[in-house]
Amino acid sequence: MKTATPGTKQINMEELLGKHDDLAHVPVVGEVLTGSILEKTSNALYVDIGRFGVGVIYGKELFDDIDTFKRSKIGDTVQATIQALDNEEGYIELSLRTATRERSWEELRRKLDDDVAFESEIIDANKGGLIVRVNGVTGFLPVSQLAPDHYPRVEGGDKSKIQERLQSYVGQMFKIKAITIDQENEKLIVSEKAAVSDEMSTTLDNLGQGKTVEGVVSGIVDFGAFVKFEEKGQELEGLVHISEIAWQRIDNPADILSVGEKVHAKVIGIDNGLRISLSIKQLQQDPWLKAAEKYNVNDKVKGKILKVTPFGGFVQLDKDIHGLVHVSELPLDIQKDPTAHLHVGDTMEFTIISLEPKEHRLGLSLKEEELPAPKKSKKEKKK
């Protein structure tokens, strides 16, 4: 062993390693390393990881974070997790997935805390909604969280057509917000409706209840019709419920409106800062206000049967005024089974037995007038 000369300091291996811990460090599987991209091919990334040599990322470990792979270029710094220390080609096998997924979850939590909207690509669809991917994390966008423009309004609620409409969004970029994040269970729920609400809130504040808007029927469903219109340069959409389409009773909105038709409507409500309720009928004069001038109790009127139910039939007297003949106001032989005697489309003569214009009610009867009982003779009385 060499003795240190006066004025010098003896340096041993322990001290040297103590000063340079990195020289003694041996990489292990699961460790996260930082390196720069040396080469990028269609299915692999080669990464310079300094004194450890060159690492490679390919296969599932690459495509599980396809977003990072697409954006990456030579010279970019990346973080990757060691999968294997020495493969057949002599490279350290790395994974983008583990390192970037942790960062992705952290970034998502930050977006949730800051209530930040961001764009994401729709990668798939199922009957319940759309599948998105955010920096390698797969999330779910439920149908109920779609903005009005993308909500699948399909007449009759045909499930196959709804699925077809949702599938058409695959490949598109949607603006969304994270609303539920559960990293432990790999659960991410996002909302498009929440993302657009900020943009719409100011516009809706200015819209105000009672305002008249001009728009176009954008969709028809069993329960009403959707109308698109512009307000302050912002495209909005509202629902005209079936009860707000016309003053008369209707069974199918498509009988009154058609997609593409221009209409005027009145704003009658704004719910939860997003849902706009409209009315078409409230811009028209209520025909029932003049019903008393046209009809009177005990009048004989002709009406067309519109619908027959076990409790009676709905009858159209004119374009706007409809009445009800209750089962109790049918002849006895018909009361047992109204559907077997009253037929849709038939025109019959009725008697008006009640009229309440303010309540939009008109009662009819098909009963024949009961003749007064014949008076008894004196002889019959004596008997």
Q: What is the DSSP string of 15-56?
A: HHHHH-HHHH----TT-EEEEEEEEE-SSEEEEE-GGG-EEE
* CATH number of the domain within which 277 lies: 2.40.50.140
Tens digits of residue pLDDT in 44-99: 889 998 888 899 988 777 766 666 777 788 998 887 888 888 777 888 888 876 65
In a domain? residue 302: yes
- Given 283, 310, 331, the domain boundary residue is 283
| 61 and 90 assigned to the same domain | yes
| 276 and 304 assigned to the same domain | no
| 131 and 183 assigned to the same domain | yes
Note the maximum CA span of the chain.
Answer: 162
Could you tell me which residue, 103 or 110, shows the higher pLDDT?
Answer: 110
- Identify the pLDDT of residue 20: 47
In a domain? residue 381: no
Q: Which domain holds residue 55?
A: 33-101
In a domain? residue 166: yes
**DSSP conformational letter for 65:** T
User: Model pTM?
Assistant: 0.48
Burial classification of residue 307, based on how many CB atoms lie within 10 Å of its CB (0-12 exposed, 13-18 middle, 19 or more buried)? middle
**What tokens appear for 286 in the block?**
């209520």
- Given 237, 255, 283, the domain boundary residue is 283
Mean pLDDT over the full length of the chain: 81
What's the first-to-final CA gap in the chain, in angstroms? 155
**Statement: residue 163 has pLDDT above 50:** yes
- Identify the pLDDT of residue 168: 92
Which amino acid belongs to residue 92? I
| 187 and 238 assigned to the same domain | no
**What tokens appear for 293 in the block?**
């001038």
Count structural domains, the chain.
Answer: 4
Q: Where are the beta strands (DSSP E) in the chain?
A: 32-40, 44-48, 54-58, 77-84, 92-95, 118-126, 129-134, 137-142, 173-182, 187-191, 212-221, 224-231, 234-241, 262-271, 275-279, 300-309, 312-316, 322-326, 347-356, 361-365
| 130 and 167 assigned to the same domain | yes
| 97 and 127 assigned to the same domain | no
| 127 and 91 assigned to the same domain | no
Q: Which residues contact 26 (CB under 8 A, 6 or more apart)?
A: none
> What integer is the mean pLDDT of 12-32?
61
> What integer is the mean pLDDT of 30-35?
83
**Alpha-carbon distance values, 94 to 44, 58, 110, 249 (Å):** 11, 8, 27, 68
- Given 231, 254, 283, the domain boundary residue is 283
- Identify the pLDDT of residue 155: 63
CA distance 224 to 244: 8
CA distance 203 to 78: 43
| 270 and 306 assigned to the same domain | no
| 181 and 132 assigned to the same domain | yes
| 90 and 123 assigned to the same domain | no
In a domain? residue 306: yes
In a domain? residue 376: no
Q: Annotate 250-311 with DSSP letters as a single string.
A: -S-GGGT--TT-EEEEEEEEEETTTEEEEESGGGS--GGGGHHHH--TT-EEEEEEEEEETT
- Identify the pLDDT of residue 100: 60
Buried b (16+ CB within 10 A) or exposed e, 106-129: ebbeebbeeeebbebebeebeeeb
In a domain? residue 372: no
| 94 and 139 assigned to the same domain | no
| 276 and 314 assigned to the same domain | no
